[in-house]
Structure 1
Amino acid sequence: MPWTAPRVEAHGEVEALATEWIAAYDQAEHLVRARDWLVHLAPAATAEMRIAALTHDIERMFPGGPVLRHADGRWDDPDYLFPHMLRSAEVVTVWLGNLGPVSATVDRAEIRRLVGLHEVGGIDGADEVQAADSLSFLETLADLTRDWVRSGVCSRSQAERKLRYMTDRVRTPAAAQYAAPLLAWALDQLPTESETEVPQR
């Protein structure tokens, strides 16, 4: 495993509550590590940036969301990415609204904006949140990508395209030095085609 960002503690009550909220999600470690990477890349990251990184994929914790075609879909498919981003933004907005007075300590609209851009990036912190998502994916979900291939969910070449996409989309210069070694490591985790299962028909 290449070098990875140090772990950080939650900063502020809303971030601490968000950490508790996401704990039930089966990819909570990815969200936590996205926050950690964000803080490493942007030590002065706002509370809104940190909370957005910590909650960016949370719509997947709830049934009924958009479905990505792993076997033959494009990893940059806007028909999947935008519904996913906006649904996560809506879920986080509702959660914040239910917190009561403590939610007034953060800018809920800004968190919604950042979560709603986490796959594509943007200005004023959105690129940093996206980069943190990518680095955390390479670190924490390389095994998931490997398992897609082993179980026949997608081909090795399709899984490789996913890993390269997560790397190539990063625009934050500070993240580039970490993305390349993480990509190389993640690619090494992928099984060969001969090690994969044939999907059941």
Structure 2
Amino acid sequence: MTERKHQEQRLTYMAGHDSLTGLMTRDRFCEELTAAVARAQRKHSRLAVLFMDLDGFKAVNDTYGHEQGDALLTAFARRLSFACRTGEFVGRLGGDEFTLMAEDLTAGDEMLMAQRILKVLSRPFDLAGASFKVPVSIGIAVYPEGGSTADELLASADSAMYVAKQSGGNAYREYAREIDDTRALRHRPV
């Protein structure tokens, strides 16, 4: 392989992967999700998106500094990637928001995925002599019930994640239309 070709491949990889964690970027993840939705439509199959947010991450940055916060994000990403099975894709949307996608699911698989992720992430993270327990809120959206496009699925999973976070965090919730109805009522002008 020529040096130029190698450099092009490296730049392509860098454009689609987060420089801190090595996970897919938001844009790259959305491309993969869009392709997965098209496959699910053709095959009449189910796919799930899990939207994860670290509960209390700001306090880690405020207390220990951004360097330690970045180290925690990197360790979190590594552990999350390790927890993934073949055919599951993980990305970092930014900050302390992560996503996971899986295709060809049977009913209930998405709940088992969320339980597995919570279990793997429940162990404390040991960084620079300090131990961090990082609770995670997870929102789940399943195609086609939770949306028929990548954007709809991400928005639905995000809404479900906020419900999990508001219920105390370190939990998961699956998207249901009632979530949007409740949020709309709460934010309706008087």
Q: Would you say same fold, with TM above 0.5?
A: no
**Structure of higher CA gyration radius:** 2
TM-score by length of structure 1 reads 0.31
Greater share of residues in helix: 1
Greater share of residues in strand: 2
